[in-house]
């Protein structure tokens, strides 16, 4: 293990200390991009070996992720990528419906030229990822679009909540997405962007609301398998 650590030291020297933050970021990204599937076990030794840190650091990272509900900690049994239940899925979108439309309105009232440019960039990246056949990355970028809007609204507290909700949404989509509908949401993002650019708060609020409803309705939340999936299913897939 020491060898591996030394092998990664070169790449780590930018991160000086606070090694757990890097692990948090890497794991969160892997979950967001669906490289880690819901239910996957995150063994402390294994994760530590991969990133060249001790279990102490890994534990801190896992605890942090568990607070965002990306990871579920079971006492004496380890950490697993969370598997939101159908009920949790509904709750998350309920909360988003409560927070995001109003936030979009605030954003429309405060948005600057630079913000618009950044948002256009996000959308372009999203399309590019889709064209490259990286739906996981596209989904991640789609989430960042929402977070960017929250940032523009300039309410750090609400932004944090939205960030958590979007992270969980990523897991929910991994579990409950039904392929039927194509990934058409980029259209919704375009419309939102236009509303923001024109400073139309009413429209932005409405568009966000219906966008979230669309998203929710594209999920299959009939509680067919509301029970947590077994590890075997996750590993076999």
Measured from the CB atom, the residue of 181 and 230 that comes closer to DNA is 230
- Using DSSP bridges, classify how beta strands 41-42 and 71-74 pair: parallel, antiparallel or unpaired: unpaired
The contacts found for 117-125 with CB under 8 angstroms, 24 or more apart, are 118/148, 119/145, 119/148, 119/149, 119/193, 119/196, 120/193, 122/148, 123/186, 123/189, 123/190, 123/193
Q: Per the structure block, which two tokens stand in for 156?
A: 């750090």
Smallest gap from residue 68 Cβ to a copy of itself (A)? 8
7 binds DNA (CB under 7 A): no
Q: Is 87 exposed, middle or buried (0-12, 13-18, 19+ CB in 10 A)?
A: exposed
Measured from the CB atom, the residue of 49 and 116 that comes closer to DNA is 49
Among 4, 40, 44, 95, binds DNA (CB under 7 A): 44
Closest by Cα among 68, 77, 70 to 43:
77
Among 6, 35, 43, 117, binds DNA (CB under 7 A): 43
Distance, CA of 183 to chain centre: 16
Distance, CA of 67 to chain centre: 14
Measured from the CB atom, the residue of 8 and 85 that comes closer to DNA is 8
56 binds DNA (CB under 7 A): yes
DSSP 199-233: T-HHHHHHHHHHHHHHHHHTB--S-TT-SPPPHHH
Choose the contact partner of 232 out of a copy of itself, DNA, none; CB within 5 to 8 A by kind.
none
Measured from the CB atom, the residue of 2 and 182 that comes closer to DNA is 2
Measured from the CB atom, the residue of 79 and 162 that comes closer to DNA is 79
194 binds DNA (CB under 7 A): no
Among 3, 10, 14, 16, binds DNA (CB under 7 A): 16
Smallest gap from residue 123 Cβ to a copy of itself (A)? 26
Measured from the CB atom, the residue of 19 and 107 that comes closer to DNA is 19
Residues that bind a copy of itself (CB under 8 A): 17-18, 56, 59-60, 63-64, 67, 75-76, 88, 91-92, 94-95, 98-99, 102, 155-158, 161, 165
DSSP 28-82: HHHHHTTSSPTT-EE-HHHHHHHHT--HHHHHHHHHHHHHTTSEEEETTTEEEE-
10 binds DNA (CB under 7 A): no
Binding site for DNA (CB under 7 A): 1-2, 5, 16-20, 41-45, 52-57, 59-60, 73, 75-79
């Amino acid at each position: 293990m020491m060898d591996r650590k030394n092998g990664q030291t070169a790449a780590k020297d930018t991160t000086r200390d606070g090694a757990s933050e890097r692990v948090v970021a890497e794991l969160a990204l892997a979950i967001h991009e669906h490289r880690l599937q819901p239910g996957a076990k995150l063994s402390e030794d294994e994760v530590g070996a991969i990133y060249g840190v001790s279990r102490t650091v890994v534990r801190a990272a896992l605890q942090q992720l568990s607070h965002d509900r990306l990871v579920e900690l079971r006492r004496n049994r380890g950490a697993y990528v969370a598997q939101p239940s159908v009920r949790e899925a509904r709750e998350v979108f309920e909360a988003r419906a409560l927070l995001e439309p109003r936030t979009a309105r605030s954003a429309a009232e405060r948005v600057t030229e630079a913000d618009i440019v950044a948002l256009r960039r996000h959308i372009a990246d999203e399309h590019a990822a889709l064209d490259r056949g990286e739906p996981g990355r596209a989904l991640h970028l789609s989430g960042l679009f929402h977070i960017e809007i929250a940032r523009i609204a300039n309410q750090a507290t609400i932004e944090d909540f939205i960030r958590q909700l979007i992270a969980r949404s990523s897991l929910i989509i991994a579990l409950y997405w039904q392929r039927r509908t194509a990934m058409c949401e980029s259209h919704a993002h375009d419309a939102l962007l236009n509303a923001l650019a024109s400073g139309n708060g009413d429209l932005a609020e409405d568009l966000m609301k219906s966008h979230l409803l669309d998203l929710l309705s594209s999920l299959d939340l009939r509680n067919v398998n509301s029970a947590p999936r077994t590890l075997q299913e996750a590993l076999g897939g």
